[in-house]
Structure 1
Amino acid sequence: MDTINPLKDQPHSIPLRKLLLWALCALLPIITFYHLIAFPFPHSLSQSKQSLVITTSSSTPSKEIGNASVEISCDYSNGNWIQDKLGPLYTKCNTIKEGQNCITHGRLDNDYLYWRWKPNNCQLPRFDPKKFLQLFKNKNLAFVGDSLARNQLESLLCMLSTYSPHDLVFSHGEENKFRKWHFPSHNVNISIYWSPFLVKGVEKSDKTYYNTLYLDSVDEKWAKDLGQMDLVVFSIGHWYLLSAIYFYGDKVLGCHSCPGLNYTEVGFYDVYGKAFETTFKTILDRRGGGKDKLDVIVTTFSPAHFEGEWDKYGACSKTKPYDAKEKEKLEWMDAEMRETSIKQVSIAKKEGHEKNVVRFEAVDVTKLAYLRPDGHPGPYMHPFPFANGIQERVQNDCVHWCLPGPIDTWNEILMQVMIKKMDKLR
């Protein structure tokens, strides 16, 4: 009996070639769907893992949160001092004020030179003088404030001079309180303006034991040049601890530590904040409507480390930093000064953002400065203070910082803050 092919010989049968084609068409969507699940296309993968960037610093770490790579903003204000074998960028520098030149004044221990600041959640890069000058090419920088502003300025000049020479092009006033340096290699100008209150004031003298402050008027000794500045760094605080009378217009608001005067004691924290308020308002009024951007940086309060009397041996004799766990909380006064300035920066930052011309920021050094009792000149504010043996009474500087020393870190942070700000403009 002949075999019958059911697909070929039956009446009305479907041709084999057409049947195979239909089967392939039916299976193709199933295969494609499976392939998409098991092996996603590259563009699908890139869309499923998007990056949320919070900061732009290359030294800032990132971590995975779900499917997003989140870059963590660096908080330079909290961390610890760790030992560093590299040491400072410089050891000698002709712009160091005599009273902060601890090495040439005979300080024997040098361990204070071999520490670096390590923030808790990121790295703080070593200062790069070449990159700093490139960052501020054809710009004018100004440091305005008291002797701590000068201390930070001289630190910056010393670090920059390791890469490029500079010329002193202007000097004026007692103790050269108004100076300007020029870096020809990058056409960068850096100036210092003595203004311990920022607002208009009359400093104490032999005739009066108190300062006089006018809180409604900015100090024009620096403010008159505001139109020429690209970056201004403010650093004030310690002069506010001294006796003073406070005016607002023609009205006396009160005074601080003024026995014998018939004025109400008002303290200095609110006054300190009011000085920043007046300063920032003046800056916004004068530069807020312009086209050229201005960066305003406030270096927060730098604590002193006197232990006992200022003119007694051992007033600040520590030879290494405190551990952050050892000193978790700031002293009350230091904390209040820090908080007052940061609050005013925060208010001004919002107003400056709205005008999109002036950018405010705080370089918060209060905690890291608090942890460095070993970094002050102490008795080495004078050359070889113990050449004739140890004396019970000796002048000590436990406020300013040796150069080189911890204050170099202030400028490392300043540089990173400015790099991030300029990256945001690109």
Structure 2
Amino acid sequence: MTGYPYTALSPLQRRRRQWYWLFAVAVILLFFSAATYSDALPDLPTLSTFSRLRYCRNDEIAEGSWVPAPVDGRTWARLKVSAGYTCHDNRHALMCFTSEPSELPRLAAANSWRWQPRDCQLHSFDAAAFVRRLSRNTRQGKKGSGILFVGDSLQLQHSQSFECLMGDHIERDFLSDYEVGNFSLEDGAGQIGFVRTDYLLQPEGWKLLMPDEEEPADIGRFVRKWTHMVEDKEFVVVNTGAHWGDHAPPTLARYERMTKEIISFIDRYPHITLIVRSSVPGHNDCSRYSAPLIHDDPEMHNSYNWQGFDLYNDIWRKTLEQHPKHIFLDVGATRLRPDGHRMPDKDCLHYCLPGPVDWWNRLLYHVIMGL
């Protein structure tokens, strides 16, 4: 009978075959175990885990959760380093600690969280990279550098947080607690300015003061002219909402006219991108909270005119749909942050710095770096 000759396996070959069989059995057992107990093993790596390497689109950054990210809060100096703050201490912006050192544990707790969008990731904040990005037009000989922040006291916090995060790269000056200020970044990244104007328009007549118009001598402290400061900027970041009072139909109609007037003005400058930061309401009884919420509760935001904030945001979204060059910066993640407010139960709208407001700048960084 013809056929293939039988050849006995050597001892080494037999051991190799045994190992192959053991490996195959182990893989099969692992597969069935994972299929059976996947609900009990939520931390096993999955394809969705690796999909988070994709950077978030702008419309995805507000969906997610706050995850623990402990900081070193043993001393104020250590906390500042952990938070990435390199600004000086002698300022109202940092009053939560500098005016009351006993607040350090609460401040450390409020900074021990990071925002994680769902199924995507943010660009990691890098102050040096931000300087390089903001100086790009200067290097290329194009018009426009720096950022102008315009809005109310929450926008002042936004700009002061930006200053503290960029402190190592400031060439000169600093923001005060007054209504108008600016500082210069190094390497041609331009000036960072702030103008306090609670409505963006003048409430007398609800009109925008143009660059060539004189600011009235009796102008209010918190409705300053800002249009003359935009021409040399690349980005103008605005917000208004907290001072608009009720959200009755006449108010909403006036608010909508304001959004269109602001965009019409900015569009005179093709090199400028308008970034509208969303309005985020405060939280009732905020002293009760020492950590972020898992889910938002609209009933927590029913004091003052906070319930109107979502309506104002919707108006901006609708207006910006017709102007895709400009951007809606959704910082709704802080709706889940009843902790970290500046004066619990006395001021449950503003936040301590460093604190949740810093994430407005991390999200701003993500949006700008993605352009």
TM class by shorter chain equals 0.5 to 0.7
- Shift of residue 396, structure 1, vs aligned partner: 2.1
**What number of residue pairs does the alignment pair up?**
285
**Residue in structure 1 matched with residue 284 of structure 2 by the alignment:** 306
TM-superposed deviation, 1:158: 0.5
Name the structure 1 match of 2:369. 419
Instruction: Report the equivalent of 1:93.
Output: 87
TM-score by length of 1: 0.59
Query: What residue is the counterpart of 1:77 in the other structure?
Result: 62
Q: Does 1:232 align with 2:236?
A: yes
CA change 1:170–1:372 in 2 (3 A) is closer
| Equivalences for residues 134-149 of structure 1 within 5 A | 134-137=132-135, 138=138, 139-149=145-155
Corresponding position: 1:279 with 2:262: yes
Distance 1:170 1:78 in 2: 32
Q: Cα RMSD over matched residues?
A: 3.1
Residue identity opposite 1:414 in structure 2: L
Q: Is the 8 A contact 1:96 1:403 kept in 2?
A: no
Contact 1:316/1:396, CA 8 A, preserved across alignment: no
Q: Which residue of 1 aligns with 2:184?
A: 182
Aligned to 1:33: none
Structure 2 CA distance for aligned equivalents of residues 59 and 154 of structure 1:
34
Sort the Cα spacing of 1:240 and 1:95 in 2 relative to 1 into closer, same or farther, 3 A: farther
Distance (whole Å) between structure 2 residues aligned to residue 360 and residue 330 of structure 1: 31
Contact 1:369 1:406 (8 Å CA) reproduced: yes
- Report the CA distance between 1:334 and its aligned residue: 4.9
SS in 1 for 2:350: coil
Gaps of 5+ in 2: 1-49, 73-81, 139-144, 212-224
Aligned equivalents of 2:132 and 2:69: distance in 1? 27
Hey, what does 2:343 align to over in structure 1?
A: 378
Deviation of the 1:316 alpha carbon: 3.1
Q: Where is the helix percentage greater, Structure 1 or Structure 2? A: 2
Asked if the contact 2:148/2:229 (under 8 Å) is kept, the reply is no
The equivalent of 1:130 in structure 2 is 128
Gaps in structure 1 of 5+ consecutive residues: 1-57, 63-70, 202-212, 242-255, 258-264, 308-314, 354-358, 380-394, 422-426
Aligned to 1:298, the other structure's residue is in SS state strand
* Conserved 8 A contact 2:334-2:356: yes
CA shift, 1:91, in A, is 5.3
Instruction: Summarize the Cα distance change of 1:347–1:268 in structure 2 as closer, same or farther, 3 Å threshold.
Output: closer
CA contact under 8 A between 1:297 and 1:363: conserved in structure 2?
Answer: yes
% identical equivalent positions: 22
Distance 2:56 2:189 in 1: 35
Bigger radius of gyration among the two: 1
Task: Tell me: CA distance 1:72–1:402, structure 2 relative to 1, closer, same or farther (3 Å).
Answer: closer
Separation of aligned partners in 1, 2:115 and 2:195 = 28
Secondary structure at the counterpart of residue 232 of structure 1: strand
